[in-house]
Chain A
Amino acid sequence: METIKDTTDLLRFTTAGSVDDGKSTLIGRLLYDSKTIFEDQLEQVKEASNRKGLGHIDLSLLTDGLRSEREQGITIDVAYRYFATPKRKFIIADTPGHVQYTRNMVTGASTANLALILIDARKGILEQTSRHSFIASLLKIPHLIVCINKMDLVDYSKDSYDKIVESYKTFASKLEVQDIHFVPISALHGDNIVNRSEVMNWYQGSTLLNLLETVHIASDHNHVDCRMPIQYVIRPHSDEFHDYRGYAGRIAGGVFKPGDDIVVLPSGFESKIKSIDSFDGSISEAFAPMSVSITLEDDIDISRGDMIARPHNQPQNVQEIEVMLCWFDNAKLNPSGKFLLKHTSNDVRAVVKDIRYKLDINTLHRNEEDLEVNMNDIARVRLRLAKPVLVDTYSKNRITGSIILIDEGSNNAVAAGMIV
């Protein structure tokens, strides 16, 4: 369970999986072995397992939240789970693995530092392994841990493990993931999850938990290109803070310091940072993902939707963007559809100009013939906007490089896009 130490950092990771690959067992094992499961939760799960006539405690019952999910025995939505060790706090975005839930996997992956990929040691790389890996790569998750699970069912064989690792490495050369780790595990028996396996002496690497605790995440944010989208202007109108104007926002990239030269976009006015304020006092350096309030030396008209950057390092100011779009809606994408586009703190109307190709999420094959984009499809799409927006490519910055499309009839988010 957690300790009273409060100087740990936070790792967000995503898992994807379907009924048989042991994902729920693995999560259950992590929660159980890190002593995060409470007695009353375990009691509930035991009772429910008995009711279903199971001979064992079904840990997946612990992770399936909605009644319909428990009835059908599947995870439909993204569920968030929490556990902590003395070294780190963890947020798991637990998502379903079937192709019809691609949108849920994309949602879970959007905020993750790390993706856990599960491979059944008996089966090797399957279609869904590639799918999960492609999604992790597409969403630019910086770290991958590939767990070769069910090692107990292949007699803990080093050969089986090595073969899978080799073929995954070949496959992964197509991916844009820098940091990949492999661990042979048995989620059912707890081998190499929290405790080192006694039967797999041939494996000298870290246990899964140890990897999760030590993966270097401080560089996952962009600390080079200064970007702060303005969310809100703080104007106290009080005697004490009569002319105070604080530009509030969450830093999306770079490091800001008082005295820095900045440019306000889209107006292009330049000024210097006077102070970076918070309730706890002034801040000498602000970086992603801090929420701060910035005051400037000059009185400039700034409002929500503007962006603060550096004069010599600015985002692109464009009225046309190309995105890798993941389509969420039941109805297929209208090839000339109009939407409301949300990008950082900006809302702008957008129209589809061109569907370039559809991406087969299992093979990465680009289909330029069949351009019908249905729910869960991923396509490269060109959008024309009603006014320019300030963007970076998604590979440069996950915050200033991402958009969602909203259907103005239903107000529902119908797509998510990564700017290419």
Chain B
Amino acid sequence: MNYNLDHLKELESEAIYILRETAAQFERPALLFSGGKDSIAVAHLARKAFYPAKFPFPLVHVDTGHNFPETIAFRDAIVVSLGANLIVASVQESIDKGRVREESGKNASRNALQTVTLLDTIEEYSFDACIGGARRDEDKARAKERFFSHRDDFGQWDPKNQRPELWNILNGKHNQGEHFRVFPISNWTEMDVWQYILKENLEIPTIYFSHQREVIYRDRSYLPISEFSNLREGEKSENKIVRFRTLGDITITGAIESEASTLEQIIEEVSSVRQTERGNRADDKRGDAAMEDRKKQGYF
């Protein structure tokens, strides 16, 4: 017997450990679920961590109202199969209530507005831990994240004053009104997630696979045409064979040209692709520290 775990087993074991610590150390944890592959992997890990008990966390979906219809259908199906409770936090509602104002201008999106909706939801339900699928390999600011990441009374992250995290001792102590973001797959790469989805045979939304779609070419990526699209002068939509590497708000999530129609082909593609997966996200192109700035305010 060789007492050595392969890397996916070790990463899985680490994530399960973190999820169990979350359930043990917090009163009201929730799992932030976008319907994207990373949150699908985290939800699956949570199911494994507490088996055969039932799914221990409510799923929270921050809904910008600008969705891929496929994601919503998928979300509703997975909620049923996990036997979980779903809480939808609606950005549209935040707008209607006057909590936030819709951005205007040619680069307008609802991305930044999500932060307010999320923080309002955390307060409404008194969540003290929000589990998310963020990974350290996604972005320079995320590379510095802890597994248990403290948020102050205002939901803010203070990157320069983070709590030290050593060995596998996780410190979730907090005062009333503060909360934690918990990142069980911090140490996973995009490739690890795909390999895990393949190994565990997980269902993912169909738009991760190659399909034909009406798109426009803008800022070096293919943006999907939807009811929310505003074509700029001179822009013309075209039909392309594409797939999405990440799933977010439909107005800002770009597709890549791809023929990959199976998980194996996606893995093949990911291993040879020369762009980071968030390179097609317009929200990350707002400057070098775009992610750090949003995270400080309470973004995912």
Q: Are A291 and B275 in contact (CB under 8 A)?
A: no
Q: Given contacts A2-B271, A279-B48, are A231 and B17 in contact (CB under 8 A)?
A: yes
- With a CB–CB cut-off of 8 A, which chain B residues contact A234? 50-53
> With an 8 A cutoff between CB atoms, is B104 at the interface?
no
A 345-375 to B, binary, CB cutoff 8 A, 1 in contact else 0: 1000000000000000000000000000000
Complex interface residues of chain B between 259 and 300 (CB less than 8 A to chain A)? 264, 267-268, 270-276, 279, 288-289, 292
CA distance A398 to B166 in the complex (A): 11
> With an 8 A cutoff between CB atoms, is B80 at the interface?
no
- With a CB–CB cut-off of 8 A, which chain B residues contact A80? 136, 143, 186-187
Q: Are A291 and B24 in contact (CB under 8 A)?
A: no
Q: Are B289 and A67 in contact (CB under 8 A)?
A: yes
Q: Given contacts A38-B279, A66-B141, are A7 and B6 in contact (CB under 8 A)?
A: yes
- With a CB–CB cut-off of 8 A, which chain B residues contact A76? 160
- With a CB–CB cut-off of 8 A, which chain B residues contact A9? 4-7, 10
Complex interface residues of chain A between 1 and 59 (CB less than 8 A to chain B)? 1-4, 6-10, 38-41, 44, 48
> With an 8 A cutoff between CB atoms, is A186 at the interface?
no
- Could you tell me how many residues of chain B have their Cβ less than 8 Å away from some Cβ of chain A? 70
Q: Given contacts A38-B275, A231-B17, are A67 and B292 in contact (CB under 8 A)?
A: yes
Complex interface residues of chain A between 53 and 97 (CB less than 8 A to chain B)? 64-68, 70, 76-82, 84, 88-89, 91
A133 → chain B closest CB, angstroms: 19
CA distance A291 to B137 in the complex (A): 24
Q: Given contacts A80-B186, A82-B189, A231-B20, are A250 and B13 in contact (CB under 8 A)?
A: yes
> With an 8 A cutoff between CB atoms, is B101 at the interface?
no
> With an 8 A cutoff between CB atoms, is B144 at the interface?
yes
> With an 8 A cutoff between CB atoms, is A273 at the interface?
no
Nearest chain-A residue to B196 (Cβ)? A6
Q: Are B141 and A291 in contact (CB under 8 A)?
A: no
Q: Given contacts A250-B13, A291-B49, are A413 and B163 in contact (CB under 8 A)?
A: yes
> With an 8 A cutoff between CB atoms, is B191 at the interface?
yes
Q: Are B191 and A2 in contact (CB under 8 A)?
A: yes
CA distance A388 to B228 in the complex (A): 62
Q: Are A340 and B271 in contact (CB under 8 A)?
A: no
- With a CB–CB cut-off of 8 A, which chain B residues contact A237? 53
Q: Given contacts A111-B167, A413-B164, are A241 and B52 in contact (CB under 8 A)?
A: yes
Question: Which of A204-212, A216-224, A309-317 forms contacts with chain B?
Answer: A216-224
Nearest chain-B residue to A234 (Cβ)? B53
- With a CB–CB cut-off of 8 A, which chain A residues contact B166? 106-107, 110-111, 402, 404, 413, 416
- Could you tell me how many residues of chain A have their Cβ less than 8 Å away from some Cβ of chain B? 84
A339 → chain B closest CB, angstroms: 11
Q: Are B187 and A91 in contact (CB under 8 A)?
A: yes
> With an 8 A cutoff between CB atoms, is B21 at the interface?
yes
- With a CB–CB cut-off of 8 A, which chain A residues contact B267? 4
> With an 8 A cutoff between CB atoms, is B100 at the interface?
no
Q: Are A8 and B48 in contact (CB under 8 A)?
A: no
Q: Are A65 and B141 in contact (CB under 8 A)?
A: yes
> With an 8 A cutoff between CB atoms, is A188 at the interface?
no
Q: Are A6 and B8 in contact (CB under 8 A)?
A: yes
Nearest chain-A residue to B171 (Cβ)? A413
> With an 8 A cutoff between CB atoms, is B99 at the interface?
no
Q: Are B271 and A39 in contact (CB under 8 A)?
A: no
- With a CB–CB cut-off of 8 A, which chain B residues contact A260? none
> With an 8 A cutoff between CB atoms, is B151 at the interface?
no
Q: Are A291 and B17 in contact (CB under 8 A)?
A: yes
> With an 8 A cutoff between CB atoms, is A301 at the interface?
no
- With a CB–CB cut-off of 8 A, which chain B residues contact A214? none
Q: Report 22 cross-chain contacts, Cβ distance below 8 Å, ordered by A residue.
A: A3-B271, A4-B195, A9-B7, A9-B10, A66-B159, A80-B136, A104-B164, A111-B166, A218-B2, A221-B3, A234-B51, A250-B17, A279-B48, A289-B13, A398-B167, A399-B168, A403-B169, A404-B164, A411-B173, A411-B174, A412-B163, A413-B165
Interface residues of chain B, those whose CB is within 8 Å of chain A, are 1-14, 16-17, 20-21, 23-24, 47-54, 136-137, 140-141, 143-144, 159-160, 162-169, 171, 173-175, 186-187, 189, 191-192, 195, 198-199, 264, 267-268, 270-276, 279, 288-289, 292
Q: Which 8 A-B residue pairings sit nearest by Cβ, starting from the closest?
A: A218-B4, A65-B140, A411-B173, A279-B48, A291-B16, A110-B166, A10-B7, A279-B51
Taking A66-B141, A234-B50 as given, write out 6 further A-B residue pairs in contact, using a Cβ cutoff of 8 Å, ordered by the A residue number. A66-B140, A82-B136, A218-B3, A232-B24, A289-B13, A402-B169
